[in-house]
Amino acid sequence: MASKEIDMKALSAAAQACVVKMREAKVNEACIRTFVAQHGMVSRGESGSIPDSAILPIESLDALDELSAECDNDVLQSTVVLKLNGGLGTGMGLHDAKTLLEVKDGKSFLDFTALQVQYLRQHCSEHLRFMVMDSFSTTTSTKRFLEGRYPWLHEVFESEVELMQNQVPKILQDTLEPATWAADPSCEWTPPGHGDIYTALYGSGKLQELVQRGYRYMFVSNGDNLGATLDSRVLAYMEAKEIDFLMEVCRRTESDKKGGHLARQATPASGAAKAGLLLLRESAQCPKADMDSFQDIHKYAFFNTNNLWVRLPALLATMEERGGTLPLPVIRNEKTVDPADSASPAVYQLETAMGAAITMFERASAIAVPRSRFAPVKTCADLLALRSDAYVVTPDFRLVLDDRRHGEPPLITLDNAHYKMMSGFEKLVQRGVPSLVQCERVSVKGLVQFGADNVLTGAVAIENPNSASTYVIADGTTLTDTTATPSS
């Protein structure tokens, strides 16, 4: 199906104003069509609610650990690895691309990703294509970083590496018109979530180019998830099963029960061809009456890792059937136009999630993977674990748990009052990161600073009730199954 022209006369005045603003900013037409459809969903009050009566639990899935066959070399040669790189990590107090944050041994997320790609090209697939999806907030710093450290990527950054995420207008909550903010016009725009990857690929022409050049598969994962690496067993599985869209999922635990889960449609969902297809249900899509069922980790046993595998020709065909768009459920985030000014006008930021596309493919599936393939860094506690000796670097530049951990990371709790942001965390580890390889759990409360060569084993609590001074743990101290305080 050819891409449809937007019928401006059929749009509300608010939607028309959004189209005009986006065209003035030279946003591509595929993105504009997608945004107009989402704007219509919001104006009609569509909630995207998915009650229990509309879905069925997933009873069983094939597991990655049970697969042994690896794909042929020609399949590897026709694979693209793409990392989502649009986030700033503002939740950790960062103001630059999150993937530039130091993770281990002086290397950042992007360092490790580039080194992984380099290793794969040298040992497995010399034509492996690597891409990042940047946002307008991360493109400059990413390009500068690659120029200084990985010139082989910088040389083809604009032509091959970078996929630019679109930007869309924030809309006023009361009128749904595009927001304006003269004090800082950049605040008027927002990235439309990682579900924009499909629109960005299609609207930029890169999807068509990849298919024309013979690329068949794309593996997409979060830039801060160093557990998500190319695994040829997955490609072999997709080939054998003729799968067009594959999602890696993990079993939910108690700590995951408030997050979204995988399910199967009992009745056809909007935009889906038939019942029985896989879908994702997020907490915001669950009616309050079904929340207990939503949080039942035995009933709904799997969650999305955001490690996705897509057959590119199938994606192109699916989008062209829908006029160059994918009708994903819209996520309506309530914010203020200036995030730093709570008194600024209330707006909606319209976003989509890329995993929701699983409903768009009849030949979609999911595969259960070990927790080691889901190791994102969302908090400073996650970062402390990676920086410690609980994780080691493999010859192919993956970060994996030390064998002595038996697959279980240490449970780390840091005082949010002091260590939620990187500025406080860096003070905590300024003199050294403690050994955690034999630590079951550790909690830190109050102002604390680790010393050099500290070793924590078993279950350790470190508490400083004095808010006027920092509890500095002496160099060389070993703490085992204890609660340490300044007076102990």
Task: Return binding residues.
Answer: 98, 165, 193-194, 224, 378
**Binding-site positions for substrate:** 194
Sequential DSSP letters for 372-407: GG--B--SHHHHHHHHSTTEEE-TTS-EEE-GGGTT
- 155: which residues sit within 8 A by CB, 6+ positions away? none
- Of 241, 299, 378, 427, catalytic: 378
Residue for token digits 């034999």?
Answer: 438
* Side chain identity, residue 183: A
Binding-site annotation, residues for UTP = 98, 165, 193, 224, 378
User: Rounded to 5 degrees, what angle do the CA atoms 227, 96, 221 make?
Assistant: 25
Q: How many residues does the chain have?
A: 488
CA 437 – CA 392 distance, rounded (Å): 10
Residue 107 bridge partners (DSSP): 104
Q: C-alpha distances in angstroms, 289 versus 52, 138, 194, 297?
A: 9, 41, 29, 17
CA dihedral 278, 206, 221, 273 (to 10 degrees): 0
- Distances in Å between the Cα of 482 and the Cα atoms of 36, 385, 413, 445, 459 are 58, 19, 15, 14, 7
What is the C-alpha separation between 58 and 264, in angstroms, rounded?
6
Query: Strand, helix or coil at 450?
Result: coil
378 an active-site residue? yes
Task: Tell me if 103 sits within 8 A of 241, measured CB to CB.
Answer: no
Q: How far is CA 343 from CA 2, 185, 214, 337, in A?
A: 44, 16, 52, 9
Selection from 203, 186, 303 nearest residue 254 by Cα: 303
Q: Give dist(CA 370, CA 165) in Å, integer.
A: 30
Distance in angstroms (rounded) separating the CA atoms of residues 53 and 55: 6
| Three-class SS state of 226 | coil
CA-to-CA distance for 457 and 469, rounded, in angstroms? 26
Backbone angles phi, psi at 357, to 5 degrees: -70, -10
Give the integer Cα–Cα distance in Å for 445 and 184. 38
Place of tokens 């102990």: 488
Q: Which residues have a Cβ under 8 Å from the Cβ of 356 and sit 6 or more positions away?
A: 195, 279, 280, 328, 329
Catalytic residues: 378
